[in-house]
Amino acid sequence: MTCLDRATWTARAAAHAARVDAATAGHRERRADGRAHPVEDFLFRYYRHSPAKLRRWHPGAGIVLADAAGTEHAGWRHYRVDGDEVSVDVQGFLAERGPAVAFVRELLTATLSRPPHLGCFGLHEWAMVHRLPQDDVRHPGWPLRLGPEATDDVLERHTVRCTHFDAHRFFTDSAAPRNTVTPTRERQTALEQPGCLHAGMDVYKWAFKLAPLVPSDLTADAFELAHEIRVLDMRASPYDLRDLGYEPVMVETAEGKAEYLERQRAFTDRSNALRRRLLDVLEGSVRTCAP
């Protein structure tokens, strides 16, 4: 256990809050005005984790906060108070959330064991609009860059191999049979691979879902990566978002494919580094509570 004095841990909490405030300012302003954004709103809408929750600072397992008995941490779930010291109740957390921790450990370990598949070129977004009228696509306020027929043709000229269940389940009825695999929730651990952009974004989900065991600096790092991945996801999508400042990655061309692969490789390395950090937290916590 590492003990932080009050000045140290309050400074870290304030720095985390400022970091999150800066990263979420645009989303919070738009939400107050009732304006939607097809790129920036995704992480909050899809993962249902609010800026306020992301802003909450957790030191993580193995850290003791000195002079914290009267602070908000003392009243938060899965914390324990010992005199004037407060820390995460690792044993209590594992007793309640043990199956979730075991699942995430298994998933992360399996994902890290596999080579990345880098040939998808973001075609999952194209499969989500395949043969749909403009009014029925997920972002009807934004035009398809190539128009409906040419967009469908791009998908039909490529091999689609999406391994991520939560992306595949949004494929249109006409696009789903074109996928060379059939992801299911039950096969998630067997199929997850580190080159998948959605699997990279999901590292953020696993981090915040296992708070307060997971330290907030790791969660914030995962959020930042998820945001960058989402930007590439939509730049490579069939939507024309240039009015929002997003230049397209034209994956229907050789140049676009090369650009996508370069970014995908970098995201794979970064997401794997975060997976290892998260796995270290989970395995260390389990070892601490082992009989």
In the predicted model, is pLDDT for residue 196 greater than 90?
yes
What one-character DSSP code corresponds to residue 31? H
- Rounded to the nearest angstrom, the gap between the alpha carbon of residue 136 and the centroid of all alpha carbons in its chain is 26
Mean pLDDT of the chain: 96
| pLDDT score of 119 | 87
| pLDDT score of 136 | 92
What pairs with residue 175 in β-bridges? Answer: none
pTM: 0.96
In the predicted model, is pLDDT for residue 265 greater than 90?
yes
In the predicted model, is pLDDT for residue 258 greater than 70?
yes
| Helix (H) or strand (E) run with residue 255 in it | helix 254-289
| pLDDT score of 287 | 87
In the predicted model, is pLDDT for residue 289 greater than 80?
no
Q: What is the pLDDT of residues 39-95, one digit of tens each?
A: 999 999 999 999 999 999 999 999 999 999 999 999 999 999 999 999 999 999 999
In the predicted model, is pLDDT for residue 103 greater than 90?
yes
| pLDDT score of 236 | 98
Q: What is the pLDDT of residues 216-247, one digit of tens each?
A: 999 999 999 999 999 999 999 999 999 999 99
What one-character DSSP code corresponds to residue 137? S
In the predicted model, is pLDDT for residue 194 greater than 90?
yes
- Listed in sequence order, the DSSP H helices in 113-252 are 123-127, 148-156, 165-168, 188-191, 197-209, 216-235
Residue 271: φ, ψ to 5° = -70, -35
Phi/psi-derived region of residue 21, left when phi > 0, alpha when psi is between -120 and 50, beta in every other case: alpha
| pLDDT score of 288 | 82
Sign of CA dihedral 183, 109, 50, 285: positive
Top-confidence residue, 118 or 288? 118
Query: What residues contact residue 211 under an 8 Å CB cut-off, 6+ apart?
Result: 56, 58, 219
Domain spans in the chain, listed from the N-terminal domain onward: 2-289
| pLDDT score of 291 | 67
pLDDT band for 134, please (50, 70, 90 cuts). confident
